[in-house]
Amino acid sequence: MLQETIPDLSKFVEPDRVRREVYVDPRIFELEMQRIHERVWIYCGHESQVPKPGDYWTVRIGRQPMVMVRGADGRVHVLYNRCPHRGAMLCGDQHGNTGAFFRCSYHAWTFHHDGRLRNIPMMESGYAGTRLSRDNPDCHVKPAARVESYRGFVFASLAADGPTLAEFLGEARVAFDDMCDRAPAGEVEIVPNCFRVVQHSNWKIFLENQLDALHPSVTHQSAGRAAHEVEKEIERRTGKAPLSYHMLSAFATVTIDKWDAFQTLNYPYGHCLLTGYMGLRPRDPDTLAYEAALEKAYGKKRAEEILSVNIHHVLIYPGLSVQPQLQQLRAVRPLSVDRTLTEIWHFRLKGAPEAIYRRALAYYNLVNSPSTMINADDLENFWKCHQGLASAGGDWVSFHRHYGRDVEKDGVVSSGPNMGTSEAPMRNQMKAWVQYMTAEK
Ligand code: FES
Ligand SMILES: [Fe+2]
């Protein structure tokens, strides 16, 4: 049991199992925010969310309210959303344009987009002889310690030291390469708003579900079967059902043994990847037009290489789940030990036909939106898991599936052949968790 102070955290995690307190103890949650979320690279947003100077989006990093803003110099800055005067948040809205500078709504201190003080009302008459002066760094809005972006995806770290973004992402950068390479123009742009879901469960339960390749054929079987029945009926009548039915019916038609045919790859820092399962290369006119645009941009060989990358999911620990082939991602914002906000974002492939966007949008709406049965079934599992873990019905969470058969090579752990349903990704995430939580500061 936890004592007055939290004992050696590494005792809570064994290679194949984890103690339940890791998910339900509020003190562990606070430590996670300090040692993980407020240290590592966290996804803030996409550069195309803030195209013009003064455009901003507010975002949460760990427990910190932050604001991502485009400066007049074209650079993207990430600042604490806090006025240095009496602490008011500078941006109360979720997003907008702040104009040529930030102006605090309380006493009108103003700041440049990079957080530097611009002006204080009554500077001369009100502050003469006080310790507050224009050169005092305490007058600036505090910036995130580090901000970097990769192919337009902006990350910030609240710690001055640590790996660079490129080092942190490592092989998992394929999430962004695969997504952007699929655009004839080589980049994506944000679809301007997202779904937001508050899950009544710990943040790790969501992440552990993302590469859990066994659960779809159980949890999503009923929704998949219903879609499959309708799909067959439409095929019987017309010869061809819209692809959107396949997106749902695949949950039922891809059975557990088929899921096992795929593979998981597990990288340093807790990142993981699950190879693809859905055939999404039909030969309809829209797909052919898209493939022609890609060939025109890249040449035949490179276009074929891009299209043959088949990744279902990349998880960038501890806050991002990316489906590059479908141009979407989910950002995880822990709110408390049993509340987690997920933002579900969608992107357009620049230079691709509108119909290709519509197809990916169908998946976004059918599978990942709050209104679909797929997402609802996942949410119910997450809530049930959290309730069970909060009980005295057992001490451990099991990650034993295919344990002992992982293959490690050059720092990358892969689930063995035909072990796509391995719990290796969960083991990998908890391995990183221990490293972060017990690291010397
Ligand atoms: S709190 Fe911002 S100007 Fe006073
Ligand atoms: Fe699911």
Q: What is the pLDDT along the chain (441 residues), one digit of tens a residue?
A: 444 566 688 889 999 999 999 999 999 999 999 999 999 999 999 999 999 999 999 999 999 999 999 999 999 999 999 999 999 999 999 999 999 999 999 999 999 999 999 999 998 889 988 988 888 889 999 999 999 999 999 999 999 999 999 999 999 999 999 999 999 999 999 998 899 999 999 999 999 999 999 998 899 999 999 999 999 999 999 998 888 888 889 888 777 777 777 889 999 999 999 987 555 677 889 999 999 999 999 999 999 999 999 899 999 999 999 999 999 999 999 999 999 999 999 999 999 999 999 988 988 998 889 888 899 999 999 999 999 999 999 999 999 999 999 999 998 999 877 888 899 999 999 999 999 999 876
C-alpha of residue 103 to centroid of ligand 1, in Å? 9
Give one DSSP letter per residue of 29-95, joined into a string.
Answer: HHHHIIIIITTS-EEEEEGGGS-STTEEEEEEETTEEEEEEE-TTS-EEEEES--TTT---S--SSE
Residues 6+ apart with CB under 8 A from 276: 262, 310, 311, 312, 325
d(CA 37, CA 437): 11
Instruction: Give the SS3 label for residue 24.
Output: helix
**Closest protein CA for atom 4 of ligand 1:** 107
**Closest protein CA for atom 3 of ligand 1:** 107
**Closest protein CA for atom 1 of ligand 1:** 86
The best mutation among 67, 85, 89, 111 to test binding of ligand 1, ranked by most ligand atoms within 8 Å of the C-beta, falls on: 85
Exposure class string for 158-178: b at 16+ Cβ within 10 A, else e: beeebeebeebbbebbbbbeb
Q: Are 355 and 364 in contact (CB under 8 A)?
A: no
Ligand 1 pocket residue status of 86, Cβ below 6 Å: yes
Ligand 1 pocket residue status of 252, Cβ below 6 Å: no
Identify the pLDDT of residue 280: 61
Ligand 1 pocket residue status of 83, Cβ below 6 Å: yes
Q: Are 170 and 267 in contact (CB under 8 A)?
A: yes
Report residue 43 CA to chain centroid gap.
7
The best mutation among 67, 106, 111 to test binding of ligand 1, ranked by most ligand atoms within 8 Å of the C-beta, falls on: 106
C-alpha of residue 168 to centroid of ligand 2, in Å? 27
Ligand 1 pocket residue status of 92, Cβ below 6 Å: no
User: Which of the ligands is closest to the CA of residue 107?
Assistant: 1
Identify the pLDDT of residue 440: 72
Give one DSSP letter per residue of 383-402, joined into a string.
Answer: HHHHHHHTSSS-SEEE--TT
Instruction: Give the SS3 label for residue 204.
Output: helix
User: DSSP class of residue 158?
Assistant: S
Relative to the CA of 84, which ligand 1 atom is closest? 2
C-alpha of residue 142 to centroid of ligand 1, in Å? 14
d(CA 377, CA 222): 10
Ligand 1 pocket residue status of 107, Cβ below 6 Å: yes
Exposure class string for 59-83: b at 16+ Cβ within 10 A, else e: bbbbebebbbbbeeeeebbbbbbbb
Identify the pLDDT of residue 124: 86
180 CB-contact burial (10 Å; exposed 0-12 / middle 13-18 / buried 19+): buried
C-alpha of residue 48 to centroid of ligand 1, in Å? 30
Q: Are 109 and 85 in contact (CB under 8 A)?
A: yes
Cα separation values, 396 from 14, 22, 24, 393, Å: 10, 10, 12, 10
Q: Which residues in the chain are classed under CATH 3.90.380.10?
A: 171-438
Angle at 398 between CA 393 and CA 401, to 5 degrees: 145
Q: Which residues in the chain are classed under CATH 2.102.10.10?
A: 42-150
CATH architecture of the region 171-438: Alpha-Beta Complex (3.90)
Ligand 1 pocket residue status of 104, Cβ below 6 Å: yes
Q: What's the CATH superfamily of 42-150?
A: Rieske [2Fe-2S] iron-sulphur domain (2.102.10.10)
The best mutation among 103, 109, 117, 120 to test binding of ligand 1, ranked by most ligand atoms within 8 Å of the C-beta, falls on: 109
Identify the pLDDT of residue 44: 98
